């Protein structure tokens, strides 16, 4: 009996060992199977195509800088209108096709009820089906023309970017100068208003003692009064009028010079964006470079006897 038990125990050990080997083999097989890239999914590619089409349609605010682009946009508007008409016609035809059997049945019923005079009513389903096929082909053709036009627009901008940039830079510099001149003129206009209003008070009050009364602090916005500043700006502090002028100058500079981190990277005028700034795929070379740098930093910090908790926090930041 003990021999049987011993053999059973040995068989169980063998079975457990085999199971362990199978589990390990299964894990290796799973690990060997590459994780599919979601960007290869047909739905993702469809969305990416729509995004590219949307980006290709972007136009500058002031189109009259570039007549060629204006021609592209006008032609695109014509094609968009054609697409809209075709889609509406297709919708109507498909609806008619859906109701064709019922309409045909009612027509035949009426014909029978009248004693079957003349020819038996026919169905227009085939005619509608052919019309749908024709309209669908036309819509595909227009879609092709739209894609071709957008590709031509991208090609034109790419080839003429230097010229387009010079035109836009010149217009920006001119507009900024005009804005800054307006700020200077604004300061002069305010001084003129203060002087004229003071003379008006003199004309109305002289020689009364109230002629000399101050109506507020002239160097501050709204003469330093709280109510108009709070009503318009939502603050209760006094603002020197010079600070307003400087803020407007800073506004002009910001408008004329501001770029996002992604735009700086695209133009090659700033540091490379990282996952801490923008969303990136793990397979993105920028993400991989950033992760490698973080790992090196982690190893260097570990050499300085960081606590396990500090190391875990840093590792967690890398995974987020």
pLDDT digits (tens, 9 = 90+) for 150-159: 999 999 999 9
Asked whether 58 and 150 are in contact (CB, 8 A), the reply is no
Report the DSSP beta bridge partners of residue 240: 220
pLDDT tens for each residue of the chain, 320 residues long: 455 556 556 655 655 555 555 556 566 555 555 666 665 665 555 555 567 788 888 888 887 778 888 898 999 999 999 999 999 999 999 999 999 999 999 999 999 989 899 999 999 999 999 999 999 999 999 999 999 999 999 999 999 999 999 999 999 999 999 999 999 999 999 999 999 999 999 999 999 999 999 999 999 999 999 999 999 999 999 999 999 999 999 999 999 999 988 888 888 887 777 887 777 778 888 888 888 888 888 777 666 655 667 666 766 666 66
Q: What are phi and psi of 220, to 5 degrees?
A: -105, 155
Q: Which residues contact 108 (CB under 8 A, 6 or more apart)?
A: 120, 121
Locate 94 and state its tokens: 């498909």
The CA distance from 71 to 230, in Å, is 48
What residue ranges in the chain does DSSP mark as E strands? none
100, 123 contact by CB (below 8 A): yes
C-alpha dihedral over 195, 198, 200, 201, to 10 degrees?
A: 180
Separation CA 16–CA 9 (nearest Å):
10
In the numeric block, the tokens 């950033």 are attached to: 290
* Sequence-distant contacts of 54-58: CB under 8 A, at least 24 apart: 56/150, 56/151, 56/153, 56/154, 57/150
Interatomic CA distance for residues 265 and 272, integer angstroms:
6
pTM of the model: 0.65
Q: What is the mean pLDDT of the chain?
A: 84
Query: Could you please report the per-residue DSSP string of 242-311?
Result: HHHHHHHHHHHHHHHH---HHHHHHHTSSPPP-TTTS---TTSHHHHHHHHHHHHHHHHHHTTT--HHHH
Residue 188 tokens read as: 């002069």
Distance between CA atoms of 175 and 184, rounded to whole angstroms? 14
Three-state DSSP class for residue 236: coil
- Say which residue the tokens 């009513």 belong to: 121
User: Which residue has tokens 């096709």?
Assistant: 97
d(CA 200, CA 215): 13
Taking the C-alpha atoms of residue 237 and residue 235, their distance in angstroms, rounded to an integer, is 6
Phi, psi of 304 (to 5 degrees): -95, 25
Rounded CA gap, 50 and 43, in Å?
A: 11
- What DSSP line would sit under 11-22, residue for residue? HHHHHHHHHHHH
187 vs 108, 181, 194, 239, 288, CA distance in Å? Answer: 86, 10, 11, 15, 53
State how far the Cα of 95 lies from the Cα of 236, in Å rounded to an integer: 64
Q: What spatial distance separates the first Cα and last Cα of the chain, rounded to whole Å? A: 60
CB neighbour list of residue 228: distance below 8 Å, 6 or more residues apart = 222
């Amino acid at each position: 009996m003990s021999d049987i038990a011993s053999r059973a125990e040995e068989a169980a050990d063998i079975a457990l060992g085999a199971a362990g080997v199978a589990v390990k083999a299964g894990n290796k097989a799973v690990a060997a199977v590459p994780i599919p890239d979601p960007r290869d999914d047909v739905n993702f590619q469809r969305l990416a195509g729509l995004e590219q089409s949307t980006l290709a349609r972007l136009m500058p605010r002031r189109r009259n800088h570039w007549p060629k682009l204006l021609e592209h946009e006008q032609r695109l508007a014509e094609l968009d209108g054609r697409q809209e008409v075709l889609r509406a016609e297709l919708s109507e035809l498909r609806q008619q096709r859906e109701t064709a059997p019922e309409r045909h049945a009612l027509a035949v019923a009426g014909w029978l009820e009248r004693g079957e005079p003349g020819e038996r009513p026919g169905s227009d389903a085939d005619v509608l089906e052919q019309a749908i096929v024709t309209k669908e082909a036309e819509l595909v053709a227009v879609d092709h023309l739209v894609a071709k036009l957008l590709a031509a627009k991208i090609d034109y901008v790419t080839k003429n970017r230097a010229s387009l940039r010079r035109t836009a830079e010149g217009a920006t510099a001119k507009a900024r100068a005009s804005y800054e001149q307006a700020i200077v003129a604004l300061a002069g206009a305010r001084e003129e208003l203060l002087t004229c209003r003071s003379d008006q008070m003199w004309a109305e009050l002289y020689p009364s003692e109230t002629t000399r009364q101050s109506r507020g602090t002239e160097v501050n916005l709204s003469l330093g009064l709280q109510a108009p500043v709070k009503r318009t700006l939502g603050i209760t502090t006094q603002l020197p009028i010079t600070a307003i002028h400087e803020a407007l100058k800073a506004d002009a500079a910001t408008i004329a010079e501001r770029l996002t981190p992604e735009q700086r990277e695209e133009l090659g005028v700033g540091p490379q964006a990282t996952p801490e700034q923008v969303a990136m795929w793990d397979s993105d070379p920028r993400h991989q470079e950033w992760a490698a740098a973080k790992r090196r930093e982690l190893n260097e910090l570990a050499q300085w006897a960081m606590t396990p908790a500090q190391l875990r926090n840093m590792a967690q930041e890398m995974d987020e």
